[in-house]
């Protein structure tokens, strides 16, 4: 038996356990692999309380209650990915349990996804394709990106990447953030930093790229949606709970906004009775905008590394194993 037990529930690593379990075994870690449907609930995690020293998790619900019951054996939470809104870090901090993540992990694929949605709605490709395959020959009017205004809410790593890529299409760019953004960036890419109200009232496309936290939960609500132009499209590749989905459904049904592109949802997987599933002017994806073999591979290794740091396992052996694997 190894010195440590690890609960491995990160869904992007689970298909590759044959790669990672032998490595963790060499590093002195036995691994518990639960059945995971997107993420573990509080109760599902608690079935393993007291049985593991560290976890490699996805968006599992590590609430304060869960962390307290998993302590004192739990010594580290290593999150696969960037967002840690599903982890009560304040409780973990009080108990001395470090929470690790990989920052700036998915900037390239997520920003690519935002531009893909903008292009799809601008050029009407999905709808032209559907019409033609049904026997039609309908010329649905589109427009160039240079004719449109993009507003980005949250000008961090991903928000900046979205604005840089949109700048190459000659879009007019608006940004909004709760912290000051470097004037060098805004000048180089011709970004006007404006109030949220001004962004919503002017933008043809609104991309949500902020973190989910107590101040941003349901940031996009009925009042905010009412400020958008009837021709505007909202894009969410950040976190589902930033949008009040009930309010968004009403705005889409009333056609007070033109459409939405949603990669994330308040409840995941998306319930089978979700109104979004029957809306032609909505594009949906299963929390997939981070899709990138290169990015995933980097996060796999960094998440294991973070786990080892939290368990105070020397990294020299791990670095040697990783170097050998990269040669193969």
Q: Tell me the pLDDT tens digit for each residue of 76-134.
A: 999 999 999 999 999 999 999 999 999 999 999 999 999 999 999 999 999 999 999 99
**Catalytic member of 101, 239, 300, 305:** 239
pLDDT band at 43 (very low <50, low <70, confident <90, very high): very high
Active site residue 268: yes
Percentage of the chain surpassing pLDDT 90? 96
pLDDT above 70 for 328 = no
Active site residue 218: no
Looking up tokens 């599933």 gives 277
Taking a C-beta distance cutoff of 8 angstroms, is the pair 276, 240 a contact?
no
Nearest to 144 by CA among 111, 170, 173, 115: 170
pLDDT band at 322 (very low <50, low <70, confident <90, very high): confident
pLDDT band at 321 (very low <50, low <70, confident <90, very high): confident
CA–CA distances in Å: residue 38 to residues 11, 91, 270, 287: 6, 24, 11, 10
Question: Across all residues in the chain, what is the average pLDDT?
Answer: 97
Q: Give the separation between CA 323 and CA 93, rounded to whole angstroms.
A: 33
pLDDT mean over 207-221 = 96
Nearest to 24 by CA among 325, 295, 328: 325
C-beta atoms surrounding 133 within 10 Å: 8
The beta-carbon contacts of 102-106 under 8 Å, at least 24 apart in sequence, are: 102/298, 102/299, 102/302, 102/303, 102/306, 103/157, 104/157, 105/81, 105/290, 105/295, 105/298, 105/299, 105/302, 106/81, 106/82, 106/158, 106/289, 106/290, 106/292, 106/295
The pLDDT value given to residue 240: 98
**Catalytic member of 44, 123, 218, 268:** 268
Nearest-5° Cα angle at 51, 49 to 52 = 100
**Catalytic member of 101, 172, 287, 305:** 287
Active site residue 222: no
Contacts of 219 (CB under 8 A, 6+ apart): 153, 208, 210, 242, 243
pLDDT above 80 for 326 = no
């Amino acid at each position: 038996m190894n010195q440590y037990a690890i609960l491995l529930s990160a869904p992007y690593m689970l298909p590759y356990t044959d790669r990672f379990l032998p490595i963790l075994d060499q590093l002195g870690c036995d691994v518990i692999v639960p059945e995971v449907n997107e993420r573990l609930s509080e109760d599902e995690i608690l079935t393993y309380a007291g049985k593991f020293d560290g976890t490699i998790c996805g968006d599992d619900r590590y609430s304060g209650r869960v962390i307290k019951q998993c302590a004192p054996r739990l010594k580290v939470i290593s999150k696969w990915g960037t967002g840690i809104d599903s982890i009560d870090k304040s409780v973990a901090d009080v108990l001395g349990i470090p929470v690790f993540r990989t920052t700036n992990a998915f900037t390239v694929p997520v920003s690519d996804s935002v531009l893909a949605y903008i292009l799809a709605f601008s050029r009407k490709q999905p709808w032209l394709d559907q019409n033609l395959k049904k026997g039609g020959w309908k010329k649905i009017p589109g427009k160039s990106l240079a004719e449109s205004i993009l507003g980005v809410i949250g000008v961090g790593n991903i928000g900046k990447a979205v604005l840089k890529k949109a700048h190459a299409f000659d879009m007019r760019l608006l940004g909004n953030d709760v912290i000051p953004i470097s004037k060098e960036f805004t000048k180089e890419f011709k970004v006007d930093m404006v109030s949220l109200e001004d962004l919503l009232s002017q933008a043809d496309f609104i991309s949500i790229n902020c973190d989910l936290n107590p101040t941003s939960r349901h940031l996009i609500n009925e009042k905010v949606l009412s400020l958008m132009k009837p021709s505007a499209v909202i894009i969410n590749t950040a976190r589902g709970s930033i949008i009040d989905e009930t309010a968004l459904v009403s705005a889409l049904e009333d056609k007070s906004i033109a459409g939405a592109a949603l990669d994330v949802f308040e409840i995941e997987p998306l319930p089978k009775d979700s109104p979004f599933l029957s809306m032609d002017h909505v594009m949906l994806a299963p929390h997939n905008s981070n899709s990138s073999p290169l990015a995933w591979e980097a996060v796999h290794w960094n998440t294991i590394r973070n786990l080892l740091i939290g368990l105070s396992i020397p990294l020299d052996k791990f670095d040697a194993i990783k170097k050998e694997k990269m040669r193969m």
